[in-house]
Amino acid sequence: MTTTVLYDVPGPKARQRQLAYGILAALAILAALGWVLYLLFDTEQFTAAKWNPFAYEGIQELLLRGLGNTLKAFAYASVLSLALGAVLATGRLSEHRVLRWAATLVVEFFRAMPVLVMIFFIFVALRVHPLPALVAGLTLYNGSVLAEVFRTGVNSVERGQREAAYSLGMRKTQVMLHVLVPQGVRAMLPAIISQLVVALKDTSLGFLIAYEEFLHAGKLIASNLDYDLPFIPVVMVISPIYIGMCMLLSWFATWVARRQRRSPRTEAVDVAPAEPGTLLPREQ
């Protein structure tokens, strides 16, 4: 039995070297983790005084309220960013030069503007409440980035698909909604989810304008002198929750992509093999 590979099969000495490298890498990682744990214990980060706050109901409610505010800001910003991105992408793809230039100017301006500057400007100069200011800043930036994602995804569809749709008498809107967008979603989806993850993490900028989101709640706990400034314990509690939310978004994107691949509209119908002696339609 022959096996075809794209590289040379490692010999006994090469396998021994690979095993030695793997063992050394594992030992280095364990040593690094051990050193981090030593520093944490040496600086008394696991003392009861620093972890006691999380046992109080008031602290737990503060964290849950902050987490709820973070999810609220993210929900508003993600929906509005997707809507704004779709509108700006439509303008960028328009055949009218004035509309295309205007959409391009908006996209390039807000893509180049730092998110924090926009949030502060809306909050201070326009005197907007913290939640609308945070959502507006995130929407303008992420919507501009998503506009380019949508435009690139639509343009990634083969030109023949567009021409075939027009040849069938479909209007431009029908071609966009029924031909280009459904096929471009596969190319867009990873970038869309990545940008939504950025929006989720950028909600933490809300604590700079006194918006009581998750990081702001953690900051209040970490700066408490009564609990010996439990900064590291707060980080160790908050960070896994942020990581978990980002991983949940990535999992959702994988699930959507898998559902698209299994969609009846994109799968060929299975045809059972003909039994011996069965005549084809032309032969009957």
Please check whether residue 27 lies inside any domain of the structure: no
Q: What is the mean pLDDT of residues 212-234?
A: 87
Q: What is the pLDDT of residue 32?
A: 96
Q: What is the mean pLDDT of residues 194-205?
A: 92
- Comparing 196 with 283, the larger pLDDT belongs to 196
State whether residue 277 is helix, strand or coil: coil
CA nearest 180: which of 196, 192, 166, 197? 166
Find the CATH number of the domain harbouring 237.
Answer: 1.10.3720.10
Structure tokens at 281: 């339609």
Please check whether residue 78 lies inside any domain of the structure: yes
**pLDDT tens digits along 110-163:** 999 999 999 999 999 999 999 999 999 999 999 999 999 999 888 888 877 777
pLDDT over 70 for what percent of the chain? 88
Question: CA–CA separation, 6 vs 18, rounded Å?
Answer: 18
| pTM of the complete model | 0.79
Q: What is the mean pLDDT of residues 15-22?
A: 91
CA nearest 132: which of 119, 144, 151, 142? 119
Please check whether residue 273 lies inside any domain of the structure: no
Q: How many CB atoms lie within 10 A of CB 82?
A: 18
> Is residue 282 over pLDDT 50?
no
Query: What's the whole-number average pLDDT of the chain?
Result: 85
Which amino acid belongs to residue 237? V
Q: What is the pLDDT of residue 268?
A: 41
- Comparing 3 with 179, the larger pLDDT belongs to 179
Question: CA–CA separation, 275 vs 284, rounded Å?
Answer: 15
CA nearest 208: which of 111, 139, 130, 137? 130
Please check whether residue 1 lies inside any domain of the structure: no
Please check whether residue 111 lies inside any domain of the structure: yes
**pLDDT tens digits along 46-84:** 888 889 888 899 899 999 999 999 999 999 999 999 999
At CB < 8 A and 24+ separation, what contacts does 214-223 make? 214/63, 214/66, 214/67, 214/69, 214/70, 214/238, 214/241, 214/242, 215/66, 215/70, 216/66, 217/62, 217/63, 217/65, 217/66, 217/67, 218/63, 218/66, 220/62, 221/53, 221/59, 221/62, 221/63
Instruction: Write out the residue range of the structural domain in which residue 59 sits.
Output: 48-259
Q: What are φ and ψ of residue 20, in 5° steps?
A: -65, -40
How confident is residue 4, by pLDDT bands cut at 50, 70 and 90? low
Please check whether residue 104 lies inside any domain of the structure: yes
> Is residue 281 over pLDDT 50?
no
CB 143 within 8 A of CB 76: no
CB 167 within 8 A of CB 114: no
Domain count across the chain: 1
> Is residue 5 over pLDDT 80?
no
**pLDDT tens digits along 226-272:** 778 888 899 999 999 999 998 888 888 778 777 766 655 544 444 44
Please check whether residue 20 lies inside any domain of the structure: no
Question: CA–CA separation, 43 vs 173, rounded Å?
Answer: 63
Please check whether residue 264 lies inside any domain of the structure: no
